[in-house]
Amino acid sequence: MTKINIMSEELANKIAAGEVVERIANVVKELVENSIDAGSKNIKIELIESGTKSIKIVDDGCGMSKEDAKLCFFRHATSKIKNENDLFFIGTLGFRGEALAAISAVSNVVLDTNDGKEATLLRLDAGVIKEEAIGSMRKGTIIEVKDLFYNTPARLKFMKSLYTELAYTTGFIEKLALSHPSISFTLINDDKVILKTSGSNDLFKVIHEIFGYNTSKNMIKISGENYDYTINGYISNLNISKSNRNNMITFVNGRVVTNQSVNRTIKEAYHTVLAENKFPIVVINIETDPTIIDVNIHPTKQDIKFSKLESLNDLLFNIIKTAITSSDNLFKPYIETSNNNYNNYDYNEYSINENLFNNDDIEQNETPEKREIEEVRLDLSSNEDVKYDEESIKKENLLIKPVGLALGTYLIAHDEDTMYMIDIHAAAERTNYERILKEMDNKKVYTTSMLFPLQLEFSHNEFMNIKNNIEEIKNIGIEVEEFGKNTFRVTAHPTWIREGTEDESIRKIFELVGEFKDKFDKTKFNDRVAATLACKSSVKGNTAITYEEQEALINNLFKCKFPYTCPHGRPTIIKYPIYELEKLFKRVNFAKGMNGNE
């Protein structure tokens, strides 16, 4: 007797369901993507008990004929590709022909579809057609999945709570809506509308509909292209951030994907301006020739392989970096004046005024519905406004006068209509960071000899890594030679290393060089050196500085290319417009009540 058996179709489908259908969100994803591929302009998702009882998708797409409706539940039955060559030119979200077979194998399904010529109704139980009838649909499709995993109790047992399942589904529909702004999506759970988008074909409007006004007003439009890729979308400025990367949303040719290399590049573009434990909000669409990507590397098609990844990452990094540095990033705290419950304020989130040196005359408690989206769009997309803000900083910083130190760490300053609070250590860090970077980029290096040469001993592995890049150390002005086993001797160093920190700084530079085990990246190396040494050479908190030093700190900070954060992403300066201060002290409303007599 043979030990190897050929599995039945029913068993194979259940196994396939384990790869394609992990949870309710996966079912919704596969069904809604089919609706998108069918050319739908309106897609409604109706759930009962977060989808555990029923998942119904209603669309106005092309529909199916009776023959196609019956065939679509067979494994590997698809209208998307016809031969192996089509795998290199995939332009649809689905193409494997596995999803409907897998879903129907572990549920009860009702399909009602009309291709404009005939209406078809099918009822399936565990993947087997139990009833055929004339459908009731106008052109389009209704597909309802009931009692998911009813015949696979082990899988049902691992379902999460109703709230968790709904959260996953909502998150994915949000991403689909962002990737297809021309389609109107409606998500309903237990007769309650959870999400609705207009299908306006305006990505900014969809961002506003999903994330709300406070996020949309802080988004920056980006675009760019090279020979291989075209990139468009929106990224957040530094005034809003998240504690996880869930809102780093990327699409490739309209497909929602999660690629670790792309996410890493996005985070690196925010390096030195956003804290390490904070993540930006991004909605980025990448367009490229289908022949240079492979979408067939993951069962759920959520990852993608790029044949020219370096070209993409370089373009993405440069676009984001340029957009961030040219944006308004001056922090202004949220001031709640309608009540005294300040405990609700999240001090890890920041919001700002759209104009750097003008009073903000918008009420903080005004609802998003009262704001016009077009006004926000103009504020965000006008390059002239950005240039004006940048020039305002450079011109007006001399008018900012220091008042004194608070708590030994925060410098209080003001101009005619704004009060500023500056973190003296963070501000000094930013100034020193940009100074050191500039020195490291200079072709001419000035060095100073050490009275007592410094000997550095390493493990064999560390020594070999450093030796492999020893020329990079010499290029920045450190005179070094091998001195015995696994030991280097340093006899001179660049003059930009602060006096009194020579030994510690040089040791750190060698450690940073040793971290590059493969290809040395000069840009990353210079950045890490500058950020590390800037921290060590900056004035610490609780340090008394004179009035002249306070003036110098302010002037040096605003001479920086990017004065808004320290190299580790913490804010350097927070502004309090006079109007906000008067609201905080109830002077605005009180003055109105006194008819302006106060």
Q: Which helix (H) or strand (E) holds 550?
A: helix 547-558
Per-residue pLDDT tens over the stretch 482-538:
888 889 999 999 988 888 888 888 888 888 888 877 678 888 888 888 888 888 888
Cβ contact 522:529 at 8 Å: no
Q: Is 33 helix (H, G, I), strand (E, B) or coil?
A: helix
User: Tens digit of pLDDT for each residue in 216-240?
Assistant: 888 999 999 998 899 999 999 888 8
How far apart CA 269 and CA 253 sit, in angstroms, is: 22
**Alpha carbon separation from 511 to 382, 462, 525 (Å, rounded):** 44, 8, 11
Phi, psi of 467 (to 5 degrees): -60, -35
Amino acid 293: pLDDT? 72
- The CA R_g of the chain, rounded to the nearest whole Å, is 30
Q: How many Cβ atoms from other residues are within 10 Å of residue 68's Cβ? A: 14
CA-nearest of 116, 68, 81, 77 to 97 is 77
Instruction: List % helix, strand, coil for the chain (3-state, nearest 5).
Output: 40, 25, 35
Instruction: State the residue for tokens 């409606």.
Output: 186
Q: Give the CA dihedral 314, 320, 324, 327, nearest 10 degrees.
A: 130
Tell me the C-alpha distance between 349 and 243, whole Å: 10
Tell the CATH superfamily of the 9-196 domain: Histidine kinase-like ATPase, C-terminal domain (3.30.565.10)
Per-residue model confidence (pLDDT) at position 483: 86
Name residues whose C-beta falls within 8 Å of residue 188's C-beta, 6 or more positions apart in sequence. 44, 45, 46, 47, 194
pLDDT for position 334: 45
- What pLDDT was estimated at residue 255? 84
Residue with tokens 């809604």: 32
Asked if 273 and 324 count as a contact pair (C-beta separation under 8 A), the reply is: yes
Q: What pLDDT does 9 receive?
A: 59
CATH architecture of 447-494+499-536: 2-Layer Sandwich (3.30)
Q: Are the CB atoms for 222 and 321 separated by under 8 Å?
A: no
> Quick check: 159 and 23 in contact, CB under 8 A?
yes
Q: Are strands 248-252 and 255-257 parallel, antiparallel or unpaired?
A: antiparallel
Show me where the domains of the chain are located.
9-196, 203-325, 342-427+542-587, 447-494+499-536
Segment holding 144, helix H or strand E: strand 140-146
The Cβ of residue 163 has, within 10 Å, a number of other Cβ atoms equal to: 9
Q: Which residues of the chain have pLDDT under 70?
A: 1-20, 75-97, 153-159, 294-303, 328-398, 518, 588-598
Q: Which residues pair with 420 in a beta bridge?
A: 413, 575
Residue 11 confidence (pLDDT): 55
Q: 225 forms bridges with which residues in the sheet?
A: 230
Strands, E assignment, 463-596: 479-482, 487-494, 573-577
| Cβ partners under 8 Å of residue 306, min gap 6 | 259, 261, 288, 292, 293, 312
Token digits for 75? Answer: 């494994």
* Residue 513 identity: V
Using the structure block, give the residue that is written with the tokens 């106005």: 60
pTM summary value: 0.66
Any idea what DSSP says for residue 279? Answer: B
Sheet with strand 219-225: strands edge to edge: 219-225, 229-236, 282-288, 248-252, 255-257
State residue 57's pLDDT score.
93
- The residues, ordered by sequence, that sit 6+ positions from 245 with a Cβ below 8 Å of its Cβ are 263, 267, 279
Closest CA relative to residue 44, chosen from 178, 151, 202, 183: 183
Contact 453, 481 (CB under 8 A): no
Would you say domain 342-427+542-587 falls under CATH 2.30.110.10? Answer: no
Number of Cβ within 10 Å of residue 290's Cβ equals: 15
Q: Which residue has the tokens 């309090």?
A: 576
Number of Cβ within a 10 Å radius of residue 19: 13
- pLDDT at residue 371, as a whole number: 39
Tokens read off for 68: 């196609």
CA pair distance 173, 185, nearest whole angstrom: 8
DSSP reduced 3-state for 549: helix
Residue found under tokens 């608070």: 406
Please state which CATH number belongs to domain 203-325. Answer: 3.30.230.10
Taking the C-alpha atoms of residue 159 and residue 170, their distance in angstroms, rounded to an integer, is 16
